[in-house]
Amino acid sequence: MRPHTVPMRGRYVHPRDGEPFFQPYGQDPTEILYSIRRDVLARVLVEQAAPNVRFHFNAPCTGIERDIPALTVTGHGRLTPDYIVGADGAFSTVRQETHRGLPADFRQDFLDWGYKELHLPKTDHLEALHVWPGERGLMVAHPNVDASLTCTLFMPYAELAALPDVPGFFRRNFPSAEIPDLADQFAANPVGHLVTVRTSHWRHADRVVLIGDACHAVYPFYGQGMNSAFEDCVVLDTCLAAHPADRAAAFAAYQRARKPHTDVLADLSEDNFVELRDRLRSPLHRAKKQLDTLLSRAFPGRWHPLYTMISHTTMPYGDALDRARAQDRLVLRTALAGLLAGAAVLAAWKRRRHVQ
């Protein structure tokens, strides 16, 4: 994938009032993210898989019979594979049919913000994720290999769907984002929805299993949805290899291994929405980030900020969160101990002055 990507070394933040500033992702120069266009990623994956996989495009699955298993595919009729892997995204047909009539927990949460993609033809700061924070509208932009940016504007859904003066809104909120044909792009591009999916049933016997957004769609604010879908593939593959004669056990082991961590990712992704929208501009938040960087420099290999663990390592999400919480507790205890020691010294000094 590497030749099709642009490295992002940190965030280039464009505050509404004030100068833009660069915030590196980590203190280690290897802590970078890579930006790739969705269509390029899909094309490369298809090319890589092509010798072993037969693809049928524009052939939606309209239903499955989970106990057989069988699936009905437009243009191909009824197919009876050994088992079905439902990788059909957040609004998965395979998931719906797998749950039908069963006591399965299922929850989908729609954010009351939607998104719209826009294209900015050129940037002078290519190797960064650009962020324009804002309470009523937040924009992020990923770099492309041709030095353009793919911008994603997030806004309350009702306002995004009926924004009266688009150029005026951009002048007021994102003055540094100069998109030449803004009004035309805005009118032409659709509004997307943001959904979190949590579900108790990722599998049915040894016949159906779900991966990716089909079982754990998350808001995109941690940039981990696709990564976690790829992690599913690795874990499912490992579980199938570990239980060669018992696919049902393999599917069960896969769900046990993944679900606790994708649940944590869903929570973190919701929280990172608030971070990108509000906290990035807050001096307190910047101070906390600097403290994190300071501590990871002072204790290399022992102190890892949560963002670093989630984005730059393959540590499971739940383990990363546990470790970050333990670190926060340590900081709190050290600060409290410092305060108590300071108070004791002050009290002793006052007593001595009183005696004199």
For 62, other C-beta atoms within 10 Å of its C-beta total 11
As a three-state string, the secondary structure of 268-301 is HHHHHHHHHHCHHHCHHHHHHHHHHHHHHHHCCC
Q: Which residues bind ligand FAD (CB under 6 A)?
A: 60-61, 87-89, 93, 115, 152, 192, 212-214, 220, 223-227, 229
211-234 in b/e form (b: 16+ CB < 10 A) is: bbbbbbbbbbbbbbbeebbebbee
C-beta of 138 vs 253, nearer to ligand FAD: 138
C-beta of 15 vs 192, nearer to ligand FAD: 192
Residue 220 Cβ, how far from ligand FAD at the closest point, in Å?
3
C-beta of 76 vs 256, nearer to ligand FAD: 76
- Which residues are 71's β-sheet partners? 64, 79
Cα 165 to Cα 152: distance, rounded to the nearest angstrom: 18
Residue 95 Cβ, how far from ligand FAD at the closest point, in Å?
10
Backbone angles phi, psi at 256, to 5 degrees: -60, -40
Residue 348 Cβ, how far from ligand FAD at the closest point, in Å?
55
Q: For residue 294, give both structure tokens.
A: 């300071």
Cα 262 to Cα 12: distance, rounded to the nearest angstrom: 28
Cα 93 to Cα 331: distance, rounded to the nearest angstrom: 47
C-beta of 90 vs 182, nearer to ligand FAD: 90
Residue 254 Cβ, how far from ligand FAD at the closest point, in Å?
15
Residue 65 Cβ, how far from ligand FAD at the closest point, in Å?
15
With beta carbons less than 8 A apart as the criterion, state whether 154 and 139 touch. yes
Residue 296 Cβ, how far from ligand FAD at the closest point, in Å?
23
C-beta of 84 vs 327, nearer to ligand FAD: 84
CA nearest 128: which of 176, 169, 166, 194? 176
C-beta of 20 vs 223, nearer to ligand FAD: 223
Cα 22 to Cα 127: distance, rounded to the nearest angstrom: 11
C-beta of 193 vs 333, nearer to ligand FAD: 193
